[in-house]
Structure 1
């Protein structure tokens, strides 16, 4: 069981990870961090986080290691190899990958972790920058029930809707279902706002009506207003959404599924990225419709 006396290592302090670490610190946990660019973590260090110089050092000194990095290749890099987590973590420790990544990679990590007497969970999240700041993320978990129960105190700080979906990889499959839903929804949000403007309506007033009805969603309530205001700062990067949708499309194809909504959204977001918006928030999709 993870307690306040446990040492937590956290790798990846980007838009999401930064707020997650802050919430753990505010809850009284001992947190060490490592990220590629130390300067971006200075405010966390000022708030009590401890710096470690490498992934290996984080693994060697922690009872629980949490990762939320960019791409599957980044997950591979931090978990495997002589300098990775699995070769350096203590037997009996816990690892949680909260990156949205490949289900097959989650299974690979789980199997190697088990061979090294380490408990592994895949636990991608949804809720964006707002959910990370508020500690209200949806957390989708794959792995063993005993490990899930042991780290539940940590999950309860980071999120509110926390569900063990099944064995290793199940968390990632659930997150891909989430991203497939958002993919088509984002197109609908953009079209609705543009339609409202063309009809001579105040789009903000339109949102007041439709966000509480059957059309309601996070994308409509949180990202819709940002679109209207021209606020394209990233709560979630376009480039990372493209990564997620690509993984989801590949996974669907492996299962023989047709996902036309996902395919169209991925095509549009790739076009958006080619126009220089890869580092913008996903709400920047409306720029294609405005054009």
Structure 2
């Protein structure tokens, strides 16, 4: 069971190599961050053979609460790529909104309280918004790992003939922060891209 986040193409190759050696292989990347890992509430995104998923379900249930089978080898990784694309857009939106609010003299905490229960609400707003306003850049997920994942998603999107502009911009912004030495900070450090 490969629970790292890696290329769906690599996951398919590992599956094929495993099958040639009479091994059963699942790709099962996770979401939920360090807090989900500690609490045993991870979301686990699984690709491979259904029978192998069924056999390993008790293992997954010991680590997570939202366990989903997506299909053949590589599909767990494709689901993780989609997850990271969603985070890239949502986190970018949170950072841009908070930069705008600050520039216009709004209180960030008041803004979070006002919009978090409406259509703008999201997990990124809830978790990262508070950290950003507190100047807390401790990693729940490292910026350098997020960039690695976004690069994988960009490669897979290009292979599928897609042009994902929001992903590309978020990747560029985060890479510029890594170039400035922010790779070991949490993803919420994306706000630093907007600071003047």
Task: Say what the alpha-carbon RMSD is for the aligned residues.
Answer: 1.2
Matches within 5 A, 1:112-261: 112-261=17-166
Q: CA deviation at 1:201?
A: 2.5
Q: CA deviation at 1:197?
A: 2.2
Q: CA deviation at 1:278?
A: 0.8
- Where relative contact order (Cα < 8 A, 6+ residues apart) is larger, the structure is 2
Of Structure 1 and Structure 2, which has the larger fraction of its residues in helix? 2
Q: CA deviation at 1:176?
A: 0.4
Number of matched residues? 196
Instruction: Write the deviation string for residues 122-143 of structure 1: whole angstroms up to 9, x where unpaired.
Output: 0111111122122221111101
Of Structure 1 and Structure 2, which has the larger fraction of its residues in strand? 1
TM superposition score normalised by structure 2? 0.95
Query: Which SS does the other structure have where 2:181 is aligned?
Result: helix
Q: CA deviation at 1:195?
A: 2.1
Distance in 2 separating the partners of 1:208 and 1:159: 29
Q: CA deviation at 1:117?
A: 2.1
Distance in 2 separating the partners of 1:274 and 1:245: 16
Distance in 2 separating the partners of 1:129 and 1:193: 24
Q: Where in structure 2 are there 5+ consecutive unaligned residues?
A: none
Query: Which SS does the other structure have where 1:165 is aligned?
Result: strand
User: Stretches of 4+ moved more than 3 A in 1?
Assistant: none
Q: 2:177 aligns with which of 263, 268, 272?
A: 272
TM superposition score normalised by structure 1? 0.65
